[in-house]
Protein backbone atom coordinates (compact mmCIF):
# COMPACT_ATOMS: atom_id res chain seq x y z
CA UNK A 1 0.00 0.00 0.00
CA UNK A 2 1.56 3.33 -1.06
CA UNK A 3 2.54 5.85 1.60
CA UNK A 4 0.46 9.03 1.36
CA UNK A 5 2.42 12.23 1.99
CA UNK A 6 -0.50 14.43 2.98
CA UNK A 7 1.66 17.46 3.76
CA UNK A 8 3.30 17.36 0.32
CA UNK A 9 -0.07 16.85 -1.35
CA UNK A 10 -1.58 19.81 0.49
CA UNK A 11 1.36 21.97 -0.54
CA UNK A 12 0.94 20.87 -4.17
CA UNK A 13 -2.81 21.64 -4.21
CA UNK A 14 -2.29 25.01 -2.52
CA UNK A 15 0.30 25.83 -5.17
CA UNK A 16 -2.22 24.88 -7.84
CA UNK A 17 -4.72 27.24 -6.22
CA UNK A 18 -2.12 30.02 -6.11
CA UNK A 19 -1.33 29.50 -9.80
CA UNK A 20 -5.01 29.52 -10.74
CA UNK A 21 -5.54 32.72 -8.75
CA UNK A 22 -2.58 34.38 -10.48
CA UNK A 23 -3.99 33.42 -13.90
CA UNK A 24 -7.40 34.80 -12.91
CA UNK A 25 -6.04 38.01 -11.41
CA UNK A 26 -7.22 37.07 -7.92
CA UNK A 27 -5.55 36.99 -4.53
CA UNK A 28 -4.89 33.47 -3.15
CA UNK A 29 -6.40 34.62 0.15
CA UNK A 30 -9.78 34.82 -1.63
CA UNK A 31 -9.91 31.04 -2.17
CA UNK A 32 -10.16 28.51 0.62
CA UNK A 33 -9.10 24.88 0.27
CA UNK A 34 -11.49 22.39 1.87
CA UNK A 35 -9.69 19.01 2.07
CA UNK A 36 -12.26 16.23 1.78
CA UNK A 37 -11.34 13.48 4.22
CA UNK A 38 -14.32 11.14 3.80
CA UNK A 39 -13.48 7.42 4.16
CA UNK A 40 -9.90 8.19 5.21
CA UNK A 41 -8.44 7.02 8.56
CA UNK A 42 -7.60 9.30 11.51
CA UNK A 43 -3.85 9.13 10.90
CA UNK A 44 -4.23 10.86 7.52
CA UNK A 45 -6.48 13.50 9.08
CA UNK A 46 -3.84 14.04 11.75
CA UNK A 47 -1.25 14.57 9.04
CA UNK A 48 -3.50 17.16 7.39
CA UNK A 49 -3.95 18.93 10.72
CA UNK A 50 -0.20 18.94 11.31
CA UNK A 51 0.22 20.49 7.85
CA UNK A 52 -2.12 23.35 8.76
CA UNK A 53 -5.61 22.14 7.85
CA UNK A 54 -8.26 23.23 10.36
CA UNK A 55 -11.43 22.40 8.40
CA UNK A 56 -12.12 18.99 6.85
CA UNK A 57 -15.00 17.86 4.66
CA UNK A 58 -17.07 14.72 5.27
CA UNK A 59 -20.22 13.34 3.66
CA UNK A 60 -21.23 10.42 5.88
CA UNK A 61 -22.82 11.64 9.08
CA UNK A 62 -21.95 8.71 11.33
CA UNK A 63 -18.34 8.63 10.14
CA UNK A 64 -17.99 12.39 10.58
CA UNK A 65 -19.51 12.32 14.07
CA UNK A 66 -17.08 9.60 15.13
CA UNK A 67 -14.12 11.53 13.75
CA UNK A 68 -15.27 14.73 15.44
CA UNK A 69 -15.49 12.91 18.76
CA UNK A 70 -12.08 11.29 18.20
CA UNK A 71 -10.33 14.62 17.68
CA UNK A 72 -12.37 16.77 20.07
CA UNK A 73 -10.01 16.57 23.04
CA UNK A 74 -6.54 16.74 21.50
CA UNK A 75 -7.39 18.98 18.51
CA UNK A 76 -10.43 21.03 19.56
CA UNK A 77 -9.81 23.64 16.84
CA UNK A 78 -10.33 21.09 14.06
CA UNK A 79 -13.65 21.94 12.43
CA UNK A 80 -15.99 19.91 10.24
CA UNK A 81 -17.90 20.64 7.05
CA UNK A 82 -20.61 18.27 5.89
CA UNK A 83 -20.61 18.21 2.09
CA UNK A 84 -23.02 15.42 1.18
CA UNK A 85 -26.78 15.07 0.88
CA UNK A 86 -28.45 14.96 4.27
CA UNK A 87 -31.52 13.01 5.34
CA UNK A 88 -33.86 14.68 7.81
CA UNK A 89 -33.34 12.02 10.47
CA UNK A 90 -29.61 12.86 10.55
CA UNK A 91 -30.11 16.58 11.16
CA UNK A 92 -29.84 16.30 14.94
CA UNK A 93 -26.46 14.57 14.70
CA UNK A 94 -25.08 17.16 12.30
CA UNK A 95 -26.32 19.97 14.54
CA UNK A 96 -24.20 18.59 17.35
CA UNK A 97 -20.77 18.84 15.73
CA UNK A 98 -20.70 20.41 12.25
CA UNK A 99 -19.53 23.97 11.63
CA UNK A 100 -20.52 24.13 7.97
CA UNK A 101 -23.03 22.39 5.71
CA UNK A 102 -22.40 22.63 1.96
CA UNK A 103 -25.42 20.72 0.68
CA UNK A 104 -28.58 22.47 1.85
CA UNK A 105 -31.12 21.53 -0.82
CA UNK A 106 -34.55 21.79 0.81
CA UNK A 107 -36.52 23.78 3.35
CA UNK A 108 -37.44 20.51 5.07
CA UNK A 109 -33.78 19.86 5.88
CA UNK A 110 -33.25 23.51 6.81
CA UNK A 111 -36.10 23.45 9.32
CA UNK A 112 -34.94 20.16 10.84
CA UNK A 113 -31.46 21.60 11.28
CA UNK A 114 -32.86 24.80 12.76
CA UNK A 115 -34.87 22.93 15.38
CA UNK A 116 -31.90 20.78 16.37
CA UNK A 117 -29.48 23.71 16.42
CA UNK A 118 -31.86 25.73 18.58
CA UNK A 119 -31.90 22.91 21.13
CA UNK A 120 -28.09 22.69 20.99
CA UNK A 121 -27.74 26.48 21.26
CA UNK A 122 -25.52 26.43 18.17
CA UNK A 123 -25.47 28.05 14.75
CA UNK A 124 -24.42 26.57 11.41
CA UNK A 125 -22.91 28.13 8.29
CA UNK A 126 -24.71 26.78 5.23
CA UNK A 127 -24.31 26.83 1.47
CA UNK A 128 -27.42 26.32 -0.66
CA UNK A 129 -26.80 23.51 -3.14
CA UNK A 130 -27.78 24.23 -6.74
CA UNK A 131 -28.10 21.67 -9.52
CA UNK A 132 -26.38 23.89 -12.07
CA UNK A 133 -26.16 21.15 -14.70
CA UNK A 134 -29.84 20.06 -14.51
CA UNK A 135 -28.71 16.43 -14.28
CA UNK A 136 -31.54 14.34 -12.82
CA UNK A 137 -29.22 12.13 -10.77
CA UNK A 138 -27.80 15.09 -8.84
CA UNK A 139 -29.10 16.68 -5.68
CA UNK A 140 -29.63 20.42 -5.45
CA UNK A 141 -32.24 23.04 -6.16
CA UNK A 142 -33.04 24.14 -9.68
CA UNK A 143 -31.70 27.69 -10.15
CA UNK A 144 -35.19 29.13 -10.39
CA UNK A 145 -36.10 27.65 -6.99
CA UNK A 146 -33.22 29.28 -5.13
CA UNK A 147 -34.60 32.83 -4.57
CA UNK A 148 -37.74 31.61 -2.79
CA UNK A 149 -35.82 29.14 -0.65
CA UNK A 150 -33.21 31.72 0.33
CA UNK A 151 -36.00 34.08 1.30
CA UNK A 152 -37.51 31.45 3.60
CA UNK A 153 -34.13 30.69 5.16
CA UNK A 154 -34.00 34.23 6.51
CA UNK A 155 -36.61 33.16 9.10
CA UNK A 156 -34.30 30.46 10.50
CA UNK A 157 -31.99 32.32 12.87
CA UNK A 158 -29.61 29.42 13.54
CA UNK A 159 -28.59 29.17 9.87
CA UNK A 160 -26.14 31.60 8.34
CA UNK A 161 -26.35 31.45 4.55
CA UNK A 162 -22.79 32.06 3.36
CA UNK A 163 -23.47 31.43 -0.32
CA UNK A 164 -24.11 28.76 -2.92
CA UNK A 165 -22.59 25.36 -3.72
CA UNK A 166 -22.61 23.23 -6.84
CA UNK A 167 -21.04 20.17 -8.45
CA UNK A 168 -20.55 20.98 -12.12
CA UNK A 169 -21.11 18.59 -14.97
CA UNK A 170 -18.21 16.19 -15.45
CA UNK A 171 -15.74 17.32 -18.08
CA UNK A 172 -15.95 15.39 -21.34
CA UNK A 173 -13.12 15.24 -23.85
CA UNK A 174 -15.56 15.78 -26.69
CA UNK A 175 -17.06 18.99 -25.36
CA UNK A 176 -14.10 20.36 -23.42
CA UNK A 177 -14.51 22.99 -20.74
CA UNK A 178 -17.56 24.76 -22.15
CA UNK A 179 -20.29 22.82 -20.26
CA UNK A 180 -18.32 23.03 -17.02
CA UNK A 181 -17.76 26.76 -17.47
CA UNK A 182 -21.47 27.19 -18.17
CA UNK A 183 -22.30 25.63 -14.77
CA UNK A 184 -19.92 27.95 -12.96
CA UNK A 185 -21.13 30.97 -14.91
CA UNK A 186 -24.71 30.11 -13.99
CA UNK A 187 -23.73 30.10 -10.32
CA UNK A 188 -22.16 33.54 -10.55
CA UNK A 189 -25.25 34.97 -12.24
CA UNK A 190 -27.52 33.40 -9.65
CA UNK A 191 -25.47 34.64 -6.70
CA UNK A 192 -25.26 38.16 -8.08
CA UNK A 193 -29.05 38.26 -8.56
CA UNK A 194 -29.74 37.35 -4.92
CA UNK A 195 -29.99 40.06 -2.24
CA UNK A 196 -26.75 40.15 -0.28
CA UNK A 197 -28.56 40.43 3.06
CA UNK A 198 -30.26 37.08 2.36
CA UNK A 199 -27.42 35.14 0.75
CA UNK A 200 -23.69 35.58 1.22
CA UNK A 201 -21.39 36.08 -1.74
CA UNK A 202 -19.40 32.86 -1.36
CA UNK A 203 -19.30 30.08 -3.97
CA UNK A 204 -18.33 26.55 -2.97
CA UNK A 205 -17.50 24.98 -6.32
CA UNK A 206 -14.63 23.26 -8.02
CA UNK A 207 -12.84 19.98 -7.31
CA UNK A 208 -9.59 18.42 -8.46
CA UNK A 209 -10.53 18.17 -12.14
CA UNK A 210 -12.02 21.64 -12.57
CA UNK A 211 -10.34 23.62 -9.80
CA UNK A 212 -8.66 26.24 -12.01
CA UNK A 213 -11.82 26.83 -14.05
CA UNK A 214 -13.88 27.27 -10.88
CA UNK A 215 -11.40 29.79 -9.51
CA UNK A 216 -11.48 31.70 -12.79
CA UNK A 217 -15.25 32.00 -12.29
CA UNK A 218 -15.02 33.23 -8.71
CA UNK A 219 -15.00 30.15 -6.47
CA UNK A 220 -14.23 30.99 -2.85
CA UNK A 221 -14.05 27.38 -1.59
CA UNK A 222 -12.71 24.44 -3.58
CA UNK A 223 -13.26 20.89 -2.34
CA UNK A 224 -10.36 18.50 -2.96
CA UNK A 225 -10.16 14.90 -1.75
CA UNK A 226 -8.06 12.35 -3.60
CA UNK A 227 -5.33 14.83 -4.57
CA UNK A 228 -4.74 15.35 -0.84
CA UNK A 229 -5.51 12.00 0.79
CA UNK A 230 -5.10 9.53 -2.06
CA UNK A 231 -7.71 7.11 -3.40
CA UNK A 232 -10.75 6.65 -1.22
CA UNK A 233 -11.53 3.44 0.62
CA UNK A 234 -14.48 2.03 -1.36
CA UNK A 235 -15.90 0.09 1.57
Instruction: Tell me the average confidence (pLDDT) per consecutive run of 10 residues in the chain, 235 residues long.
Output: 88 98 98 96 96 97 96 96 96 98 98 98 98 95 98 97 95 81 97 96 95 97 95 63
Q: Which CATH number fits domain 6-229: 3.40.50.300, 2.70.98.10, 3.20.20.10, 3.60.15.10?
A: 3.20.20.10
Ranges of each domain in the chain:
6-229
- This prediction has a pTM of 0.94
Continuous segment of H or E residues that includes residue 204: strand 202-204
Closest CA to 56 of 117, 7, 98: 98
pLDDT value of residue 159: 98
For position 172, what pLDDT does the model report? 75
Closest CA to 208 of 48, 8, 10: 10
pLDDT tens for each residue of 103-121: 999 999 999 999 999 999 9
Predicted pLDDT of residue 171: 78
Amino acid sequence: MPVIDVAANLHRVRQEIDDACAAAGREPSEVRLLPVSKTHPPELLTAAYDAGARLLGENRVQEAAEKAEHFATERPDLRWAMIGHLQTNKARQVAGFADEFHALDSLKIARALHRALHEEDRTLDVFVQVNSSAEPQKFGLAPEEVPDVVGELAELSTLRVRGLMTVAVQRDAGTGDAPVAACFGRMVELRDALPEHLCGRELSMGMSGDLALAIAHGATTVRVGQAVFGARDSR
